[in-house]
A and B are shown apart, each in its own frame.
Chain A
């Protein structure tokens, strides 16, 4: 030291973001339509006493919290970081109690800067840590897009595997919770289109736990999309629930007539539609992808070849969405088994609408049943596209 200057930097509180914490729904607000996968048989309180292989009833947020807790206890390289993850426990309380249990180096409140958070986490991962980043909301993850696409996704390939950033980006996504704008995007297509990322999303409480544990253990970077409107679903689960390796779809309902391929928040919607369709004589099979990347062609193809009909369902807008990829893959692989075109049921191609309109945007049972009707049950061709809106281009 030759300049004799003071080098002290004042300590400062972590940047807060109170204005971005909108309301967190209470459990009483859970839409009854979600009951299909989450029978509320809860008799005890929370999942906090979850021991090995014990059955407890918990919400999806509690399952995610337990997964983080168990992963952090199992591996000291695992740490969580993001905005408000520390003292607040996350705006959805997914990181509740982790600061107290593991200390600040394992549960780190960061400045409010998403590119910085992800870039910083890349550096942590380069040094061998296993960061689990919370990006507070779907649309607030966009500032980090360059870091995700150009670095998180590519670093392993750029360095012949020498610097593969094993990290998880947790992103609450999707609508259905009455949120103000920029809090309801379904952004999975951006990530699924980016080679080098894995993209998973749970639809059940048990999967929330097991998929997050798998994502944290995975050697590749994983975008872990948490469907906000399923956060408060409750279900009994056996912990630690560790199911299949990451990348396997799950058959949620067996049926003979039509396969619905979906993931995340629309899995319960598909099951509800399947019940309604049963009354009309259609026996519906529901495939929950769980993992968008890697994509489980085997489970999807086997199902569609059995049923001969396929409807792809998601909440995100349809154009150039994940459903387009699924429909193309099914058509390529199942053409000779198909009795009808593969149809997509999705949100409209609009920016996510205002809260009072969102139920008109989200695909529900009626939109799904309307698609079922068009599956050429009587061998009648679907005439819907013969006179498309906007007229013909002569």
Chain B
């Protein structure tokens, strides 16, 4: 391979890294971030429910009206709560059901997280592979 040809190859591989691999990596990382957020949400929901259980049936809380203006709110009967169970459905669940659901959801989300982690690792190793190839090509 002459120099010109090699330069062309390097440019091609670089373009592949920039346009495909890096973009994919970003996308996958964003998805992973979202998953982490969801996992945290469900964990904190389970914690809140456990907190409720130790308390009375009433719930005193502050509601954010927007622009961080808070109003006091009282829920006279908080034994049943509505939980987003996915697909836009919000089911009325008892505390125990809600906690059970949170645990189930967490397991599922963690499985997804594993998948994402594996995918990200794959993309990263591909990037390294191509970069290594580029280095070799430009050194030769």
Verify that A and B bind, or say they do not. no
A-binding residues in B (CB < 8 A):
none
